Structure 1
């Protein structure tokens, strides 16, 4: 009998909310769902359908009030974080879960929610490249890497880094052989057609166009975070 069969199932709680970026959590979900002896929870404030920032709808399976303590707390990101940065009930749920979680984790701008809950102070962490400076406003030691591990905090960069992040989690929980088997099973072998997936490799014109398109949202988010930090 395997160790997984001897030991209690590992629980992973994925926190979802309106206007989430779906790939932030569906990429990791695909990896997590292939882990042995693992129970996944789609956690939300209610069981009402959650609509992503691009219109896809998802059904939570566990409301916050009925959530058990989870071994891995995972917070994705997306435009919807702005409404949650000052949502005391939401942030209190994260803090409560973090007290007993084996790992407290995020992908993309989910790290801003962890920081708003006070869960990244004293840790190294990352986020989407457009929001690295916003994460630093919380006093977090920002590291512009695809996945950052600092003790029991594991954070991933923007959107697609969620798959890398989840494979790192898989290796932490069940070893590299399991993580590698999952990687091969989903044929995760990135060969992007363009070399513009990072501000370190994209041209100035591409970087400027992305910054311009997101400027209003980033400015609003900065104002929210500056307000939060000023009140701390």
Structure 2
């Protein structure tokens, strides 16, 4: 399985990590970061180095377009748009997360169909002739869009299931959970996954529930490990979407 993850100025490191971590554990997987030029592209969370330029890629099994703060600028990049048009014709799947769906619309890959996207990107999506689909994950032909965060991980698992089967997705999920949250010491009972989500999004806790202990004794919890838990737990997903940081 050959996977190309598109990177550009402003691309979200967390979404690159989500797709690379899940798809990279598939059997015989090769994950490449691809961009318009050699070097690295910076964005929230860190820089992404380019393995191959767009003009050096002829065909992949999956082309991934993560979201990012630079999506509006990237949508005007003719090299990126040309690459996505070629991938629509040759790749088995093209998937975009969060504001990455705007780049698909700009390249004409949505063909006027509604798409899942970041809740702030609706106007940009409509600029290119598409509208927002309120579902967190939408599949139209070989093009998949998702709203980001939890659904980026969910989309990656769905791709694994479609290509390698359910057993492969189950194995990858277990591996990521084991790597992402090592239990170096006993975790208090109240430190459930839903409490960790509240820590991440800043939501209120139930009365009497203690705040998380940020001491150096507690092992770090990566957002990816939390997101993997959220994929199979709709209660946690709703908790995240109700976060006060997400206002329409």
TM-score range, shorter chain: 0.7 to 0.9
Distance change (3 Å), C-alpha of 1:176 and 1:190: farther
Q: 1:69 aligns with which of 44, 54, 59?
A: 59
**What is the aligned residue count?**
195
Q: CA deviation at 1:190?
A: 5.4
TM superposition shift of 1:45: 1.4
Task: Sort the Cα spacing of 1:45 and 1:80 in 2 relative to 1 into closer, same or farther, 3 A.
Answer: same
1:41 equivalenced with 2:41 (yes/no): no
Is residue 89 from structure 1 mapped to residue 79 from structure 2 by the alignment?
yes
Deviant stretches of 4+, over 4 Å: none
Q: Distance in 1 between the 2:20 and 2:193 partners?
A: 18
Q: Is the 8 A contact 1:53 1:80 kept in 2?
A: no
Query: 2-side partners of 1:202 and 1:163: how far apart?
Result: 19
Corresponding residue for residue 224 of structure 2: none
- Kindly indicate whether residue 16 of structure 2 is the aligned counterpart of residue 25 of structure 1: yes
- Structure-2 change in CA distance of 1:82 and 1:132 (3 Å): closer
Q: Deviations over 1:74-104 (max 9, x none)?
A: 1111111121111222211211222111111
**Counterpart in 1 of 2:92?**
102
The TM-score with structure 2 as length reference comes to 0.71
Could you tell me how far apart the structure 2 residues matched to 1:13 and 1:202 are? 32
- 1:140 equivalent to 2:183? Answer no
Query: 1:144-164 CA distances to partner (integer Å, 9 max, x unpaired)?
Result: 222222221111212342111
Task: Please tell me whether Structure 1 or Structure 2 has the larger radius of gyration of its CA atoms.
Answer: 2
Distance 1:134 1:81, change over 3 A: closer
RMSD over equivalenced CA pairs, Å: 2.2
Per-residue CA distance 1:18-61 (angstroms, 9 max, x = gap): 1111111111110011000222221011221221134x122111
Task: Give the conservation status (yes or no) of the 8 Å contact 2:54–2:79.
Answer: no
Distance change (3 Å), C-alpha of 1:136 and 1:176: farther
CA-CA distance at 1:122 after TM superposition: 4.5
Shifted more, 188-197 versus 156-165: the winner is 188-197
Structure 2 equivalent of residue 161 of structure 1 = 151
Is 1:152 aligned to 2:195, yes or no? Answer: no
Q: Alpha carbons of 1:207 and 1:108: their partners in 2 closer, same or farther (altered >3 Å)?
A: closer
Classify the secondary structure of the residue corresponding to 2:5. Answer: strand
Give the unaligned 5+ runs of structure 2: 181-191, 204-237
- The equivalent residue for 1:184 is 174
Are the equivalent residues in 2 in contact too, given 1:108–1:128 (CA < 8 A)?
yes
CA offset at residue 178 of structure 1?
A: 0.9
Aligned residue for 2:26, secondary structure, equals coil
Which of 41, 59, 68 in structure 2 is aligned with 1:50?
A: 41
- Which sits farther off after the overlay, 78-87 or 134-143? 134-143
Give 1:202 shift: 3.6
Q: Which stretches in structure 1 are left out of the alignment for 5+ residues? A: 1-9, 212-232
The offset of 1:207, in angstroms, is: 4.0
